[in-house]
Every structure is written in structure tokens, then in C-alpha cells.
Amino acid sequence: QQPVQSPQAVILREGEDAVINCSSSKALYSVHWYRQKHGEAPVFLMILLKGGEQKGHDKISASFNEKKQQSSLYLTASQLSYSGTYFCGTAMNYGGSQGNLIFGKGTKLSVKP
Amino acid sequence: EAQVTQNPRYLITVTGKKLTVTCSQNMNHEYMSWYRQDPGLGLRQIYYSMNVEVTDKGDVPEGYKVSRKEKRNFPLILESPSPNQTSLYFCAISRGRNQPQHFGDGTRLSIL
């Protein structure tokens, strides 16, 4: 039931792009993305609520394909500050668990100068 | 600015000795949640609360209790802690399930 994130880890040079994927075996109602730097709490990036919805701010954007039950996070022209572990959280599309949010195991992103 | 205060931040204790980790918020948000984070396993939800007196189990509720008697507080109770509950714990708040969650700084528990 835990969403599957890929890749597990990625190393980039500054300025390179990356894509992090999040797939679920269950129908999704929403997908949440967070970034956690070492020794800190997770920080909210964005939430996607509708199938096909895309969002972005700065050079980080995301898409949500409801049919495929997956979301992708796009980081373009990466900066050193993008380093950290990225988590997707999924809320399922059935009424029983109204408040249950299930996170993936995370993708560790390292950006080198 | 949203503030989520967890206490204690660090605790080393022994098996079987009841403990409580407190979580309080300054935002009057309805939704509060507890997660545990273990290496390689990501964040796993323990319990959540949609409002006062409304709590529900997350994915890993065994061995934990919570209460939500007032809006600002959501304590996590370990009645009889065991070593497998050694972990980093986060409390989070938001306006609702599909709203941004703001996390506390975390509580690192070591149970010997």
C-alpha cells in the first residue's frame, strides 16, 4: 500500500535536471510532495488534487496522472539547495480512511557543484 | 507562522516505562498527525486526528495511544515502550487532509 518511489537515490551536478516518480497500486485522491534536509523536519512542496493536475513553483514542478495512479516531481536546473530526501505522500480514493496519508520511502537527491 | 512544539526532543528510556511525547500547535488547525521515521522506511503514519475527540489509526498504530481533548494538543502515549519503538517521531498539523502539513522538529526516542 506504500507508494513506490523511484529512483531511490540520484546524484546530479548543479544545473542538471531530475525526475522523481511516485507510483501507487491503489486509486489515488491526492499526491503530496515534501523535501527533508538532513537533520531537519520535512517541508511541504506541493499537493496535486486532480487527475492531470500540474503544479510548480520556481524550477520544481509536478504532475499527477490519476489513471496511471502515479505522480512525477520535476527538478530543472538543479541548485545545491535542492539536495535532500524527497517524499511523496498519497491519499487513497476510498472513503474509509479519510485522513490517512501514506508516504513512500523517499528519494535521496544529492546535487554536487 | 505555524509552530508545532514537540517535547521532549530527545529521550533515552527503558523498556516498559510509560512515556508521553507532547505536541502542541499555535494555529488552531483541525488536523494533527503523528509519524515515525526509520532509516529506509520513510515516514509512517501512526495516528491522526481530524478534530477534537476524533482520532483514527494510521498504518502503524500498534503500541501507541493518542488523545485529542483540545484542539491545540495531540499527545502520543507509549504505555509499555519496547526497543522496536526506537525511532524519530514527528508531529504534523494542517487545515485538513489535503492541505499542506507543517511538521514539528521531531523527537528522537531510544528505548533500551
Question: Confidence class of residue B97 from pLDDT cuts 50, 70 and 90?
Answer: confident
Q: Write out pLDDT tens, residues A48-96.
A: 986 666 677 778 999 998 888 899 999 999 999 999 999 999 987 655 4
| Cβ pair A47:B98 closer than 8 A | yes
- The reported pLDDT for the residue numbered A58 is 75
What element of type H or E holds A48? strand A43-48
Question: Which residues lie closer than 8 Å to B31 by C-beta, 6 or more apart?
Answer: A99, B48, B49, B50, B51, B93, B94, B95, B96, B97, B99, B101
Query: Does residue A37 register a pLDDT over 90?
Result: yes
- The reported pLDDT for the residue numbered A62 is 93
Kindly state the cell numbers that stand for B43. 515516514
Nearest to B97 among A42, A87, A99 (CB): A99
- Cα A21 versus chain centre, distance: 7
For A27-36, A92-101, B1-10, B83-92, which range has the lowest pLDDT when averaged over its residues? A92-101
- DSSP secondary structure, B17-49, as one string: --EEEEEEESS--SEEEEEEEETTTEEEEEEEE
A-interface mutation test, from B41, B54, B55, B98, most A Cβ less than 10 A away = B98
Q: Write out pLDDT tens, residues B25-78.
A: 999 999 999 999 999 999 999 999 999 999 999 999 999 999 999 999 999 999
- The reported pLDDT for the residue numbered B6 is 98
Q: Contacts of residue A49 in chain B, CB cutoff 8 Å?
A: 98
| Percentage of residues in chain A having pLDDT higher than 90 | 66
Measured distance CA(B53)–CA(A3) in Å, rounded: 30
Q: In what order do the strands lie in the sheet with A18-23?
A: A4-6, A18-23, A70-75, A60-65, A54-57
DSSP code for A2: P
Residues of A with CB under 8 A from a CB of B: 1-2, 29-30, 32, 34, 40-44, 47, 49, 87, 89, 91, 97-106
Question: Confidence class of residue A99 from pLDDT cuts 50, 70 and 90?
Answer: low
